[in-house]
Chains A and B, each alone.
Chain A
Amino acid sequence: MARLTIDQVSKSFGAFRALNNVSLEVKDGEFMAVLGASGCGKTTLLRQIAGFDKLDAGRILIGDTVVSTPRSHVPPERRRIGIVFQSYALWPHMSVAENIAFGLAVAGIKDPERSRRVAAALTLVELDGFGERRPALLSGGQRQRVALARCLVTEPSLVLLDEPLANLDVHLRASMEDEFARFHARTGTTMIYITHDQAEAMALADRIAVMDSGRLLQVATPSELYREPADETVAGFIGEGMVLPVDVQSVDADGRCWTTLYGHHVRMRCAKTQKPAAARACLRARDLRIVALSAEGIAARIDRAIYQGGYFRLEAHLEAAPEKPLHLAASEPFNVAPGMAIKLAVADGWIIPGSEGH
Chain B
Amino acid sequence: MPRNGRSVIDPGGLREHAEDYTLLWGLVLVVGVLSVLPLARLLLEGIAPGGDFSGHAFDRVLSSRTTWTATGHSLITALGGTVVAVAVGGVVSLVVSLTNIRGRNAFVFCFVLPMMIAAQVIALAWLQLFGPSSPLLNLIGLAPALGSRNPLYSPGGIIVVLGVQYAPLIFLTLRAGLRTLPRELVEAALAGGAGPMTVLRSIVLPLMTPPLVAGIALSFVSCLGNFGIPALLGIPANYLVLPTLIYQRLAGLGPGVLSEVSVLSMLIGFIAIVGILLQDMMLSRRDFRISTTSSVARPFELGPWRLPVEIGLWSLSVMVLVLPLIALILSSLVPSVGVPLSSRTATLANYEFVLFGHDAARRALVNSFALSATAAIAIPLIAVPLAYFLVWRRSRLLRIVNLVTEMPYALPGVVLAIAAILLFLKPLPLLGLSIYNTVWIILFCYLARFLVLGLRPVISGYYQIDRTLEEASQIAGARLFRRLRSIIFPLVAPAASAGALLIFLTAFNELTVSALLWSSGSETLGVIFFSFAQGGDSTYAAALGTLTVLVTTALMLSTLLVAGKLPLGVLPWRD
Name A's B-contacting residues (CB within 8 A): 13-14, 50, 52-54, 72-83, 85-87, 89-93, 102-103, 106-107, 150-151, 154
Contact = CB atoms under 8 A, between A and B. Distances in A.
A93 B492 CA distance: 11
Interface of B: 1, 3-4, 6-7, 10, 12, 14, 16-17, 466, 468-469, 471-479, 482, 486-487, 490-491
Contacts of B476: 77, 102-103, 106, 150, 154
Contacts of A50: 471, 475
A106 B17 contact: no
Given A13-B3, A73-B12, A75-B14, A91 B471 contact: no
Given A52-B4, A72-B12, A74-B14, 11 more contacts: A54-B6, A77-B16, A77-B474, A77-B479, A89-B471, A91-B490, A91-B491, A102-B476, A103-B476, A103-B477, A106-B482
Contacts of A102: 473, 476, 478, 486
A85 B468 contact: yes
A86 B471 CA distance: 12
Nearest to B20: A75
Contacts of A90: 472
A74 B473 CA distance: 16
Contact of A91 (B7, B14, B469, B475): B469
Q: Specify which of B3, B7, B475, B477 lies most central, judged by the most chain A CB atoms within 10 Å of its CB.
A: B475
18 contacts: A52-B4, A73-B14, A75-B474, A77-B478, A78-B477, A79-B475, A80-B477, A83-B471, A83-B472, A87-B466, A89-B469, A102-B476, A103-B477, A106-B473, A106-B476, A106-B477, A107-B477, A150-B476
A325 B314 CA distance: 69
Contacts of B4: 52-53
B477 A14 contact: no
Given A73-B7, A93-B491, A83 B16 contact: no
Contacts of A85: 468, 471-472
A208 B80 CA distance: 71
B16 A91 contact: no
A194 B478 CA distance: 24
Contacts of A52: 4, 471, 474
Contacts, number: 82
B12 A77 contact: no
A91 B471 CA distance: 11
Nearest 4 pairs of A and B residues by beta carbon? A103-B476, A89-B472, A89-B468, A93-B490
Nearest to B482: A106
Contacts of A72: 12
A45 to B, nearest CB: 15
Contacts of B469: 89, 91
A75 B475 CA distance: 9
Given A85-B468, A89-B466, A89-B469, A77 B475 contact: yes
A328 B475 CA distance: 46
A52 B468 CA distance: 11
Contacts of A74: 14
A82 B473 contact: no
A340 to B, nearest CB: 44
A309 to B, nearest CB: 36
B496 to A, nearest CB: 13
A151 B490 CA distance: 21
A166 B466 CA distance: 17
A107 to B, nearest CB: 6
B477 A77 contact: yes
Nearest to B19: A75
A80 B469 CA distance: 17
Contacts of B10: 54, 73
A91 B482 CA distance: 14
A91 B6 CA distance: 27
Contact of B487 (A73, A80, A83, A91): A91
Contacts of A80: 477
B7 A76 contact: no
A82 B3 contact: no
B267 to A, nearest CB: 44
Contact of B1 (A14, A54, A106): A14
A45 B15 CA distance: 25
B463 to A, nearest CB: 15
A54 B474 CA distance: 15
Contacts of A79: 475
A72 B17 CA distance: 11
A91 B120 CA distance: 45
A124 to B, nearest CB: 17
A110 to B, nearest CB: 16
A87 B474 contact: no
Contacts of A93: 490-491
B10 to A, nearest CB: 8
A78 B13 CA distance: 14
B7 A54 contact: yes
Nearest to A84: B472
Contacts of A77: 16, 474-479
A86 B472 CA distance: 11
Contacts of B478: 77, 102, 106
Contact of B475 (A54, A76, A92): A76
A74 B16 CA distance: 9
Given A53-B4, A89-B466, A93-B491, A83 B475 contact: yes
Contacts of B468: 85-87, 89
B462 to A, nearest CB: 15
A53 B3 contact: yes
Contacts of A83: 471-472, 475
B6 A81 contact: no
A91 B473 contact: yes
A52 B467 CA distance: 11
B247 to A, nearest CB: 47
A228 to B, nearest CB: 36
A75 B17 contact: yes
Nearest to A50: B475
A109 to B, nearest CB: 11
B215 to A, nearest CB: 35
B441 to A, nearest CB: 38
Contacts of B12: 72-73
A269 B471 CA distance: 47
B472 to A, nearest CB: 4
* Most chain A CB neighbours (cut-off 10 Å) among B3, B16, B477: B477
Contacts of B491: 91-93
A150 B474 CA distance: 13
Contacts of B17: 75
